[in-house]
Structure 1
Amino acid sequence: MTTSTMEHLLGEPHHDGSALYVSDATPTLGDTVTVRVRVPLGCTERRVHVRVVRDGEPRVSPARLVRTTDADRWYEADVLVHNPVTCYRFLLDEPTGYRWLNGRGVFSREVPDAADFRITVHAPAPGWLGDGIVYQVFPDRFARGTERTEIPDWAEPAAWDDEPVGSGPGVGSQLYGGDLPGIEQHLDHLEDLGVGTLYLTPVFPGRSNHRYDASTFDHVDPLLGGDEALASLSRAVHARGMRIMGDITTNHTGDGHEWFRRARADRSCTEASFYYWTDGEPGYVGWLEHASLPKLDYSAPALAERMIDGRGSVIGRWLAEPYALDGWRVDVANMTGRYADQDRTHDVARTVRRTMLDINPDSVLVAEHFHDSGADMMGDGWHANMNYSAFTRPVWSWLVDPENDVPALGLPARLARRSGRDMVATMRDFDAVVPWKVLATQWNMLGSHDTPRLRTLVGSPAMVEVAAGLLLTYPGTPVVFAGDEIGAEGVNGEHARTTMPWDRPDRWDDRTLGTYRELVTLRRSSTALRDGGLRWALVEDDAVAYLRETADETVLVLVARAPWTGATLPLAADAAENLYGGADLHPGPDGWSLPSDGPTVQVWQLT
């Protein structure tokens, strides 16, 4: 295929939920919102209509042609926000029939409502979530601030340079001794990287290094420095203009938790109603059948009061001074409140959010959900989700080293290498089933404490740069697991929980660190990259390009995993300034010629 015949997507009509296309992202019930659609001049539409599903029934009304530019015709339509979540799509009436435009693209056939655009009355996550990046720290592995000689009976002490155990005995008991004072002592690194939010995995005491098996929610683990260490870290983080978020399991406790021990000793006590009891061994329901993690039963009113509802609840008290957490990431949020014939997940999420906003109206609530989270993400509970399905997995599948035999996350199969077309189709499928303002704050990750390391998956600093380019230019909130920015490696979640080699410069990949710093700085400097819409321009096997747009700024991003044939895009631009990657964008009679080299990340501002 020659450059001149390479297909692009800029000839298709486009709409997304950003401010360029929707007049009010958070209306109240009964308001009328103006929605806009851009139709390239090459299209043959005779009329454009908007189709709204109101009280379960579709209604179609005409859109108005309001503006014609050198490249597009712009139409507007009015949408009555008659339901808290109001769904709509566009109908393009053309000489050969009609086509639908929804969140997945343009279709010349009938399509289900699942991917329709959505306007919701629910407030989005506060703007600070998108300032800088979120930096995830696994406290045991980041830094030692205090030397501790007392080791709990469950722990196996490790030297700081020891390799983490990846499977089998020692996975949960290998203790390196990182703590909260150690994190506080290295906040300069976070600030230099451009971190906006520090996210800590659990700090409550348990009988494991990961601490998802809490024995109490009332105190910070003394091994991490105790309550005062968290208060001190919070003060230090806020003094630098950053935020701090905690991690909690609303789905289960540890079997050593004070509530569970009380419940087992006296089945008539209040705490006994907090858990699911069975006749078979071990006598109660455990998370994924793990007896060490008994599951919480939210049919018990006393549990909601104790755990999630009100200022005195576990959720509430850590948001208040002196700890002043700015939000929570909720572990296995998709399972919370769900068991057999019970499904209280949405009620739990709404209660947690109400409690948080009562204490801190500027707080953030993020869910962990590894697969299809769409039905849980309408914006009335969780603000955002850890975006494994719509970002992490498709990016991995595009960039994974073809010689790599790392298993696919959670599946009994090897991670497949797929095309750019498959990557983008997956992104569009999952992005389309949530409201735009949720999509715009989703936690996009290239890895976490539960996954292999990016560097291990892709194999080279060049491919890490391509992945980081996607992370820092795609809609959503970029999240970096501590160590990814210096090239840390690991074949699975446990093996990836490596220590930060503060005293070992030989273990730092300076090229990768420089890549992250430069891309974070670029994102923070660009309104379009932080808040703009997303318009796919080109999707090929080895290269993809997209536009991030606001009313005042247009940014073109090209990422390629390998050399490719190049392409010409009919961009409505007079000039293009390279912001990252160093390549000039050349205009020609048919448009602007994209460079064909790879692996590469290129970012241009169009004027």
Structure 2
Amino acid sequence: MTDLLGRPHHDGSPLYLSDEAPHLGSTVTVRVRTSADDPVTRAWVRTTYDAEPTYHQMAREGDAGWWSGGLPVHNPVTHYRFLIEREDGSQTWLGAAGEVGYDGSDTFDFKVVAYAPAPDWARDGVVYQIFPDRFARSAHAGDRETPAWAVPADWDDTVVYEGSDPRTPLQFFGGDLDGIVDHLDHLADTGADIVYTTPVFPGESNHRYNASTFDHVDPLLGGDKAYQRLSSAVHDRGWRLLGDLTSNHTGDTHEWFQRAREGGETRSWYYFHDDLRYESWMGHHTLPKLNHTSDELRRVMIEGPDSVVGRWLRPPYDVDGWRIDVANMTGRLGHIDVNHDVARIIRATAAEQREETFVVGEHNHDASSDIDGDGWHGTMNYSGFSWPVWSWLRAEETDARPFGRPVAVPRRPGPLVRQSLDEWRARYGWRATTQSWNILSSHDSARIRTLVVDAGVHRVAAGLQFTLPGVPMLFAGDELGLEGVNGEDGRRPMPWDHREAWDSATLATYGSLAALRRRHVALRRGGLRWAYVDDDSLVYLREHPDETILVAARRAPGPAIDLDLPTGELLLSTTGDERGFAGAVPAADAPAFALWRLA
């Protein structure tokens, strides 16, 4: 598949779209790149005006193969695609998933969005996810009394990770918030500048997704004062802090639910049946589901400055935004669906309390109906990034278990992976994709090192994470080569006292990739144009008006790849190869990742 550079191309980056957040009623300029040898004679941009198709003819820009035209922004989310006619009279459509020779649905249309984008810090940064119980103990962690619900564990104990074992959510290692403060220099080594912790509210579990209150930080983590110290330490470095909020449910020990079960004023905040049964998350009775059709619940939970969402964003905590747990299920139950209302209110409440807030929703399959509007800015992009990358780089033999599926992660060739990446990016829209998180591991998944096994392949995965459109999100320990066969096993404590076990080369790769992403605007805001794909190679361009960067990822050894592109200066190679780009991606005798800045 050597002719990808010659295909017509458009995306939502600045080289192709004049304004990513235009005002309603304005007109933006859209551009299409075609090969100078492609006999295109005419082109139109087709959009929909209140769901009725309209066509706007484009003009050729000189003789270089570029076409441009005006796109009226009539709706808050305006869909568009391109109709291309060639000398022989043939017609094709160019949509966000590529060029097709048939009249397809609007599913893969491009989108331009009139709502304000996510703040720059959230799109340009690097997220570091911390599971507080397993990250680090401060000097004061041992002074706290172990709660009655917990099964105490020493820091080097083996994690109990089988869901059927009752100790799994109760095993307590005792990490705390001051322990995070003590290790912020390590986060700096990875290049991270956004600290995201899983919940800090009290809950009778090590994961704390079963909150017993939203009014205070768990004393086991150091309490409210410790969270203030963490916030100050993070912001003193010019970084950002994200909280984790379960808008879908509480714990069954939550003060609201306790009053509700007794017939109190909060009963309508949950879904009770006549026989005292109640709705819960996926049937887990310890996680009763919140009823967001209740105006009073919305007032207390998500709406206004004194709501849970609002007050943690103000001093003394100054949280910069929220990751919303189970965002896909929030406000949805059978025939009830107020999910978008909840997302819109949370985003508006956050913006009213603090400038430049960010709200990202957890969603592990198709989030396309929930993003690219005025709700969640983006999603944890398992479908559009994790699954394609996992399926390309998965080792032939691995103990890693996929979450949510009954079979192992498949191993797929490059062309299928490229198609998957393209279709998901098209489904979400360019801007929502660039505001979503590129995830290799999380507290809910197997570790990337266990999935790929080989350290060199892990570094290829990291390269894709930092150079494909989207925001890199590291799960604490990935940078050291930590392992885990599933999400629970992946929550192993950080090995601070065993530095001999660290994969220092991988840690250095993460730091270098983060520095390059910060330095080169094309890696943050540039477009994505494929140059070459085969079973074992993915080669692409990140294009921006200021620069173009060539990226080459190989999962296995391979020959040189000839490309008709300008020469380029090497920016990074995971194999130590020091060759620049001179018309060909160098041959590789091992899995490799490299990028060059083209002249």
Confirm or deny a common fold (TM above 0.5). Answer: yes
Aligned to 1:454: 448
Counterpart Cα distance in 2 of 1:566 and 1:390: 29
The question of 1:602 aligning with 2:583 is answered no
SS of the equivalent of 1:494 reads coil
Q: What is the CA-CA distance between 1:596 and the residue it aligns to?
A: 4.3
Counterpart Cα distance in 2 of 1:184 and 1:68: 57
Counterpart Cα distance in 1 of 2:226 and 2:34: 56
CA deviations on 1:118-163 (whole Å, 9 max, x unpaired) are 0111111100113441000000011111223411111011000112
Q: What is the CA-CA distance between 1:67 and the residue it aligns to?
A: 3.1
TM-score (norm 1): 0.96
Aligned to 1:122: 115
Aligned to 1:144: 137
Counterpart Cα distance in 2 of 1:374 and 1:250: 19
The question of 1:489 aligning with 2:479 is answered no
Counterpart Cα distance in 2 of 1:408 and 1:111: 32
Aligned to 2:272: 277
CA deviations on 1:568-604 (whole Å, 9 max, x unpaired) are 1122x2x2101111342454xxx54543443000101
Q: What is the CA-CA distance between 1:487 and the residue it aligns to?
A: 0.6
SS of the equivalent of 1:376 reads coil
SS of the equivalent of 2:387 reads helix
SS of the equivalent of 2:515 reads helix
Match among 39, 50, 69 for residue 77 of structure 1: 69
**Larger CA deviation: 297-306 vs 52-61:** 52-61
**Larger CA deviation: 140-149 vs 542-551:** 140-149
Matched residue type, 1:26 = A
Match among 499, 502, 516 for residue 522 of structure 1: 516
Aligned to 1:3: none
SS of the equivalent of 2:25 reads coil
- Kindly indicate whether the alpha-carbon contact (under 8 Å) linking 2:569 and 2:581 is maintained by their aligned counterparts in 1: no
Match among 328, 332, 347 for residue 326 of structure 2: 332
Counterpart Cα distance in 1 of 2:230 and 2:284: 33
The question of 1:253 aligning with 2:250 is answered yes
Aligned to 1:183: 180
**Larger CA deviation: 342-351 vs 121-130:** 121-130
The question of 1:243 aligning with 2:237 is answered no
Match among 452, 461, 464 for residue 470 of structure 1: 464
Match among 89, 93, 98 for residue 100 of structure 1: 93
Match among 381, 387, 390 for residue 387 of structure 1: 381
Aligned to 2:316: 322
The question of 1:133 aligning with 2:130 is answered no
Q: Which runs of 5+ in 2 are unaligned?
A: none
Q: What is the CA-CA distance between 1:422 and the residue it aligns to?
A: 1.5
CA deviations on 1:346-369 (whole Å, 9 max, x unpaired) are 000000001000011211000000
SS of the equivalent of 2:451 reads helix
- Kindly indicate whether the alpha-carbon contact (under 8 Å) linking 1:337 and 1:343 is maintained by their aligned counterparts in 2: yes
Q: What is the CA-CA distance between 1:482 and the residue it aligns to?
A: 0.3
- Kindly indicate whether the alpha-carbon contact (under 8 Å) linking 2:301 and 2:307 is maintained by their aligned counterparts in 1: yes
Counterpart Cα distance in 2 of 1:232 and 1:559: 41
Number of positions where the alignment pairs a residue of Structure 1 with one of Structure 2: 591
Aligned to 1:295: 289
The question of 1:416 aligning with 2:410 is answered yes
CA deviations on 1:502-559 (whole Å, 9 max, x unpaired) are 1111221111111111111111111111111111111111001110011110000000
Matching of residues 10-29 of structure 1 within 5 Å: 10-29=5-24
Aligned to 1:89: 81
**Larger CA deviation: 517-526 vs 364-373:** 517-526
Counterpart Cα distance in 1 of 2:238 and 2:353: 20
Counterpart Cα distance in 1 of 2:147 and 2:581: 64
Match among 166, 169, 180 for residue 169 of structure 1: 166
The question of 1:55 aligning with 2:47 is answered no
Counterpart Cα distance in 1 of 2:422 and 2:508: 30
Match among 496, 512, 525 for residue 502 of structure 1: 496
SS of the equivalent of 1:27 reads coil
Match among 28, 37, 40 for residue 33 of structure 1: 28
The question of 1:400 aligning with 2:394 is answered yes
Counterpart Cα distance in 1 of 2:234 and 2:120: 18
- Kindly indicate whether the alpha-carbon contact (under 8 Å) linking 1:568 and 1:592 is maintained by their aligned counterparts in 2: yes
Counterpart Cα distance in 2 of 1:579 and 1:379: 36
CA deviations on 1:8-59 (whole Å, 9 max, x unpaired) are 3001010000111111111111111111111111211111111111111111
**Larger CA deviation: 40-49 vs 386-395:** 40-49
- Kindly indicate whether the alpha-carbon contact (under 8 Å) linking 1:137 and 1:201 is maintained by their aligned counterparts in 2: yes
Matched residue type, 1:321 = P
The question of 1:579 aligning with 2:574 is answered no
CA deviations on 1:210-252 (whole Å, 9 max, x unpaired) are 0000000000000000001101110010001110000010000
Q: 1:83 to 1:130 in 2, by over 3 A?
A: closer
Matched residue type, 1:309 = E
Counterpart Cα distance in 2 of 1:283 and 1:586: 65
Q: 1:293 to 1:97 in 2, by over 3 A?
A: same
Aligned to 1:231: 228
Aligned to 1:550: 544
Counterpart Cα distance in 2 of 1:576 and 1:91: 34
SS of the equivalent of 1:195 reads coil
Matched residue type, 2:98 = G
Counterpart Cα distance in 1 of 2:421 and 2:392: 12
Q: What is the CA-CA distance between 1:399 and the residue it aligns to?
A: 0.6
Give the alignment's Cα RMSD to 1 decimal: 1.3
The 4+ residue runs of structure 1 with deviation greater than 4 A are: none
**Larger CA deviation: 457-466 vs 499-508:** 499-508
Q: What is the CA-CA distance between 1:110 and the residue it aligns to?
A: 1.6
Matched residue type, 2:309 = I
Matched residue type, 1:273 = S
- Kindly indicate whether the alpha-carbon contact (under 8 Å) linking 2:170 and 2:206 is maintained by their aligned counterparts in 1: yes
Counterpart Cα distance in 2 of 1:578 and 1:285: 56
Matched residue type, 1:98 = Q
TM-score (norm 2): 0.97
Counterpart Cα distance in 2 of 1:44 and 1:296: 58
- Kindly indicate whether the alpha-carbon contact (under 8 Å) linking 1:120 and 1:435 is maintained by their aligned counterparts in 2: no
**Larger CA deviation: 427-436 vs 169-178:** 427-436
**Larger CA deviation: 329-338 vs 46-55:** 46-55
Aligned to 2:362: 368
